[in-house]
């Protein structure tokens, strides 16, 4: 696992200062503490920071191909590189190293951009072909590894694994994109179609760019996508056997390492399944790491201990409490862009714990998206059934009107909190799912924004890109579209961003075996009843894992990596909540209305309403703006 950065002059071929590339890569030193390198040629410069995992001493980067005609800076792991290497050797390729980096170079020279479909792994890389004078930028199927891009004055493109690599370039401008604020206040993160700073982009997951000197960059090209239009046939027992085989393949392929390896263990279905399959194929006890909370209602360490005992793992755990929130500023610096998923702090803690014992850790990310494990997906499937039997001309007048009149009752039992459901049923399925995903509805956001910001935002709404993604999805049903949206929008923007930044911040490589693309493609083809029965998601996966895990792990109510924000922001962090309203970064530059933020804090601290998530969102935005130091 590594960090990469570089500069490409596409307008005029100018020399690239190696020191400038070095400063960009030095800003990513946490991603690669084991080595660094810079390579430059007329019009191009590549930089690399290395965390040694495979071929510890033999694969320094940037790396030139055996014939010297191509150079690469690569971040990630290619799990099938040995098979690819054997195939390429049969075709005449020669290798000087034992790692996966040189395999990508040879694959490019053999197959060109088609090499991407042959790579099984997580990756972002920059490859410069000296003969073609062409730069090839690519990102893996799901966006496990990030790649930021920025247009610079003078016709150059800069790129880096994290935004801090771009910010180390003195030509970077720091102007906040107001549409990114709208996105962030809706989702709690800045999705991959935008960045917090104007002029910065993210190469989308499953896309590549080919850049030539003398030609302006074109749009990224998609090289992989999920397909929900086909369905597997066969008995449940046969589908279960296929699923188990694919899960085993995903886990065992990601256990290849020349350094100590372990797993994150929350006690939920996904991480417990990964630990079970690791233990099955490992001769030594698996090292497992868990994080708990000082609030009993959200603490899952007892379940993690149960799984650890069942598989005799070398288990380690740590408790997160509110007095550890001195790291708020550190979280903001780690993510660069504002990031309000409150589980980022415990995820950082479990990464720190894991790094004390291993250099690589396997996670359970991806199963909820792939196999319909989120409650919102089940609710959406039910809502789509209702929409299918009611004419659209009737839905809005009936459900939309009821939804607008229904009181917002966060304090009430779930069956009485119908406002969101009614509003959702009043619109399209895409609009309804966007409303279910959003932290704040359009109506709630407008109450917080300053009038100047509303004018600058114009007609744009953060839900629009998600709704279009769902409308255009290769899918057959509402459930398909919801899962597609989660895999393409939520997963790279939130889940994988969180895991990448927190693990890399401590020099730990995190791998996602349940995001093996063959496993995800299989999940997309499963009939509905094998994914979802009633409100129980991941049905086939849970059935398959019954031979390994007890029912109290498989069938207890899904909890997720929940952080007790509401309690902390009414107690030890109440002063932080009150300080939000007086922040000049939020209210002194035309973003938010001061009185609206003060009202949020007062209502939450008094217990009249639960605004914990929104207050945390605003707090992390304020800290991020402090870190970014934007210009006017």
Q: What is the pLDDT at residue 168?
A: 96
318-354 pLDDT, tens digit per residue, is 987 766 666 888 999 999 999 999 889 889 999 999 9
pLDDT of residue 109: 96
How sure is the predictor about 572, in pLDDT bands with cuts at 50, 70 and 90? confident
Confidence at residue 402, expressed as pLDDT on a 0 to 100 scale: 56
pLDDT at 172 over 90: yes
Supply the pLDDT for residue 405.
56
Q: Identify any residues that bridge with 160 across adjacent strands, giving them in sequence order.
A: 5, 148
Cα separations in angstroms, 248 against 312, 400, 488: 19, 47, 24
Distance (Å, whole) CA 452 – CA 448: 12
Q: Is the CB of residue 282 less than 8 Å from the CB of residue 532? A: no
Residues 6+ apart with CB under 8 A from 173: 197, 198, 199, 631
Q: DSSP for 113-181?
A: GGGGGG--EEEEEEEEETTTTEEEEEE-SS-SS--EEEEETTTEEEEESSHHHHHTSTT----B-HHHH
pLDDT at 412: 42
Q: How many helices and strands in the chain, by DSSP H and E?
A: 30, 19
Q: What number is the average pLDDT over the span 609-613?
A: 91
pTM for this one?
0.93
**Any catalytic annotation for residue 2?**
yes
Q: pLDDT digit string (tens) for 488-544?
A: 999 999 999 999 999 999 999 999 999 999 999 999 999 999 999 988 899 999 999
Provide the token pair at 594. 């001061």
Percentage of the chain lying above the pLDDT 90 cut: 77
pLDDT in tens, 257-282: 888 999 999 999 999 999 999 999 99
User: What is the distance, to the nearest Å, from the Cα of residue 587 to the centroid of all Cα atoms in its chain?
Assistant: 29
- Residue 150 phi/psi, 5° resolution? -150, 130
Mean of pLDDT values over 394-412: 54
Cα–Cα distance measured from residue 147 to residue 137, given in angstroms and rounded to the nearest whole number: 9
What distances in angstroms separate CA 89 from CA 84, 106, 129, one per listed residue? 9, 9, 20
Average pLDDT, the chain: 91
Lowest mean pLDDT among 101-105, 205-209, 567-571: 567-571
Summarised one tens digit per residue, pLDDT across range 91-138 is: 999 999 988 999 999 999 999 999 999 999 999 999 999 999 999 999
Q: Please name every residue paired with 126 in a beta bridge, in sequence order, or none if there are none.
A: 73, 137
Q: Say if residue 298 is exposed, middle or buried (CB neighbours under 10 Å; 0-12, 13-18, 19+).
A: middle
- Is the pLDDT assigned to residue 296 strictly greater than 80? no
Looking at residue 35, its pLDDT comes to: 83
Q: What is the pLDDT of residue 303?
A: 94
CB 76 within 8 A of CB 59: no
pLDDT tops 50 at residue 458: yes
Residues ≥6 apart with Cβ < 8 Å to 492: 142, 143, 192, 205
Q: What CA–CA distances, in Å, run from 212 to 129, 209, 238, 353?
A: 10, 10, 49, 44
Alpha carbon 371 to chain centroid, angstroms = 17
**CA–CA separation, 16 and 34 (whole Å):** 25
Estimate to the nearest angstrom the gap between the alpha carbon of 174 and the chain centroid: 24
More confident residue, 458 or 536: 458
pLDDT at 414: 42
Cα dihedral value 297, 300, 302, 305, nearest 10: -170
**Of 180, 193, 83, 182, whose CA–CA distance to 149 is shortest?**
193
Cα–Cα dist 540/546, whole Å: 10
Q: How far is CA 253 from CA 43, 117, 264, in A?
A: 38, 17, 17
Token digits for 5? Answer: 């950065």
CB of 170 closer than 8 Å to CB of 158? no
What is the predicted pLDDT for the residue at 294?
Answer: 73
User: Which pLDDT belongs to residue 259?
Assistant: 84
Report the pLDDT averaged over residues 595-607. Answer: 94
Q: What was the pLDDT predicted at 298?
A: 67
Please identify which of the residues 2, 115, 289, 351 carries the catalytic annotation. Answer: 2
CB 223 within 8 A of CB 204: no
User: Does the pLDDT at position 413 exceed 50?
Assistant: no
Q: Strand 360-362 to strand 261-264: parallel, antiparallel, or no bridges (unpaired)?
A: parallel
Parallel/antiparallel/unpaired status of strands 156-160 and 148-152:
antiparallel
Question: So what's the pLDDT on residue 33?
Answer: 83
Residues 386, 387, 388, 394: is their CA dihedral positive or negative? positive
- For residues 524 and 476, is the Cβ–Cβ distance under 8 A? no
Under 8 Å between Cβ of 77 and 101: no
To the nearest whole percent, how much of the chain has pLDDT over 70?
A: 90
Q: Is the pLDDT of residue 376 over 90?
A: yes
The full length of the chain comes to 632
State the maximum Cα–Cα separation within the chain, in Å, rounded to a whole number. Answer: 72
Q: Is 16 helix (H, G, I), strand (E, B) or coil?
A: coil
Angle at 286 between CA 281 and CA 290, to 5 degrees: 135
Beta strand extents in 250-365 (DSSP E only) = 261-264, 287-293, 314-320, 360-362
Using alpha carbons, list the distances in angstroms from residue 483 to 193, 332, 369, 470.
18, 29, 6, 9
**Would you state the pLDDT for residue 406?**
59
- Name the phi and psi angles at 532, rounded to 5: -140, 125
Query: Average pLDDT for residues 211-216, to the nearest whole number?
Result: 94
Helix residue ranges per DSSP H, 356-418: 367-371, 375-389, 392-395, 401-405
Residue-wise pLDDT tens digits, 24-83: 999 999 998 888 999 999 999 999 998 766 555 657 889 999 899 999 999 999 999 999
Taking only Cα atoms into account, the Rg of the chain, rounded to an integer number of angstroms, comes to 24
What's the confidence (pLDDT) of residue 415?
43
The pLDDT of residue 391: 64
């Amino acid at each position: 696992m590594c960090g990469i950065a570089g500069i490409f002059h596409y307008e005029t071929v100018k020399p690239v200062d190696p020191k400038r590339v070095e400063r960009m890569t030095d800003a990513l030193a946490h991603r690669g503490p084991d080595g660094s390198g810079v390579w430059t040629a007329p019009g191009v410069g590549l930089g690399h920071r290395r965390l040694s995992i495979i071929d510890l001493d033999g694969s320094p980067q940037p790396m030139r191909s055996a014939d010297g005609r191509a150079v690469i800076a690569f971040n990630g792991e290619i799990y099938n590189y040995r098979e690819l290497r054997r195939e390429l050797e049969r075709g005449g390729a020669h290798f000087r190293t034992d790692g996966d980096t040189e395999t990508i170079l040879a694959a490019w020279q053999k197959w060109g951009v088609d090499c991407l479909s042959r790579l099984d792994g997580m990756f972002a890389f920059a490859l410069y072909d000296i003969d073609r004078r062409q730069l090839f930028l690519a990102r893996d199927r799901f966006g496990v590894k990030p790649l930021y891009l920025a247009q610079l004055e003078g016709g150059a493109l800069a790129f880096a694994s994290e935004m801090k690599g771009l910010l180390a370039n003195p030509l970077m401008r720091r102007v906040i994109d107001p549409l990114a604020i709208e996105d962030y206040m809706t989702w709690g993160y800045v999705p991959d179609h935008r960045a917090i700073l104007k002029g910065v982009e993210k190469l989308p997951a499953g896309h590549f760019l080919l850049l030539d000197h003398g030609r302006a960059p074109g749009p990224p090209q998609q090289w992989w996508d999920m397909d929900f239009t086909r369905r597997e046939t066969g008995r449940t027992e046969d589908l279960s056997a296929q699923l188990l085989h694919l899960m085993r393949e995903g886990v065992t392929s990601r256990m290849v390492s020349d350094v100590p390896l372990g797993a994150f263990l929350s006690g939920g279905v996904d991480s417990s399944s990964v630990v079970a399959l690791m233990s099955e194929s490992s001769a030594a006890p698996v090292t497992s790491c868990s994080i708990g909370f000082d609030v009993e209602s959200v603490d899952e360490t007892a379940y993690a201990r149960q799984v650890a005992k069942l598989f005799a793992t070398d288990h380690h755990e740590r408790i997160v409490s509110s007095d550890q929130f001195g790291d708020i500023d550190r979280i903001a610096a780690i993510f660069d862009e504002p990031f309000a998923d409150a589980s980022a702090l415990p995820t950082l803690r479990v990464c720190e714990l894991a790094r004390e014992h291993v250099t690589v850790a396997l996670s359970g990310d991806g199963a909820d998206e792939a196999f319909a494990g989120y409650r919102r997906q089940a609710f959406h499937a039910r809502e789509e059934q209702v929409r299918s039997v009611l004419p659209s001309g009737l839905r809005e007048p009936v459900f939309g009107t009821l939804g607008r009149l229904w009181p917002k009752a966060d304090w009430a039992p779930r069956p009485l909190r119908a406002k969101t459901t009614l509003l959702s049923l009043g619109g399209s399925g895409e609009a309804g799912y966007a409303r279910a995903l959003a932290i704040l509805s359009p109506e709630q956001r407008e109450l917080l924004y300053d009038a100047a910001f509303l004018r600058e935002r114009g007609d744009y709404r953060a839900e629009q890109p998600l709704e279009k993604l769902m409308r255009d999805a290769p899918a057959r049903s509402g459930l398909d579209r919801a899962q597609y949206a989660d895999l393409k929008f939520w997963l790279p923007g939130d889940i994988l961003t969180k895991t990448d930044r927190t693990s890399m911040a401590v020099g730990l490589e995190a791998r996602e075996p349940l995001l093996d693309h063959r496993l995800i493609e299989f999940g997309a083809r499963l009939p509905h009843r094998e994914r979802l029965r009633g409100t129980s998601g991941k049905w086939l996966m849970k059935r398959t894992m019954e031979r390994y895990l007890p029912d109290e792990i498989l069938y207890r109510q899904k909890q997720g990596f929940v952080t007790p924000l509401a309690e902390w922001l009414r107690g030890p962090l109440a002063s932080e909540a009150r300080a939000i309203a007086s922040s000049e970064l939020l209210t002194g530059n035309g973003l938010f209305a001061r009185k609206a933020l003060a009202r949020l804090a007062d209502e939450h601290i008094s217990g009249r309403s639960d605004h914990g998530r929104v207050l945390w969102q605003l707090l992390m935005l304020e800290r991020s703006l402090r870190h970014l130091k934007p210009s006017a």
